[in-house]
Amino acid sequence: MSNSNRLCEQVPAFGEEDCESALFRAKWPDGFRCPRCGGLDFYRIVSRGRRVFECRSCARQTSLTAGTILEGTRTPLVKWFQALFLMQTGISATLLAELIQVTYKTAWLINHKLRYAIQVHDEGRPLAGDLQLLGDFYARPATNRPLDPLTYRDEPAVAGASVDPDSGELAEVKIKKIVRRDIQSPYVRHRFVRRIFVEACGRGPFRESSHRDR
């Protein structure tokens, strides 16, 4: 079975209405609310080929995608949701285009917008509570000894995890790629990890579990 067929089989079977329901619940968890007058009642209508919600009080029209990265899209919501699901595998725009059957340009745009939204969301939610940090190298073969010299393929990264105080298990993990000079200087690296994981949280305690300096 090809890689693309295997990926396709993992995508949950949901339809356009399922996606609309999910967006509705995310946008208005307590029910529809008019963005102009706060009215609670609406008509569902089709305006210029788009499905919109029209306020019964002031006739203001709004859509599920207004004010989101999906605003103005002509691509069916179900393809956006499929793309979001497939992105967990670190998929390329070329393969995404093939799997959800859109042009490369559309796939690239969807990929780009979803990654941006995830990044913004992620940066707005720093790790909190008891944190553990680990500095290490991506792309380094597992057989390398910790003190082997840095090669051009090694990519320094730092991973931070918040730990559940009761169970001691990992609650949430963040990984950041960092530039080489930051990991070569313990002082700079320490300041860096404090900035992204601790000062952003506004609290400690902070424990660096282990690292590989050279």
Q: In the complex, which residues of this chain contact Zn ion (CB under 5 A)?
A: 34, 36-37, 39, 55, 57-58, 60
Answer whether the bond into residue 156 is a cis peptide, omega within 30°. Answer: no
Length of the chain: 214
Query: Which CB atom, from 57 or from 101, has the smaller least distance to Zn ion?
Result: 57
Q: What is the nearest approach in angstroms of Zn ion to the Cβ of residue 57?
A: 5
Nearer to Zn ion, 47 or 57 (CB): 57
Query: At how many degrees (to 10) do helices 16-27 and 77-86 cross?
Result: 80
Could you tell me the smallest distance in angstroms from the CB atom of residue 34 to Zn ion? 3
By beta-carbon proximity to Zn ion, the closer residue of 57 and 209 is: 57
In the complex with Zn ion, which residue's Cβ is closer, 19 or 55?
Answer: 55
CB of 20 to Zn ion, least distance (A): 20
Q: How far is residue 182's CA from residue 137's CA, in Å, rounded to a whole number?
A: 13
User: Smallest distance from the beta carbon of 43 to Zn ion, in angstroms?
Assistant: 11
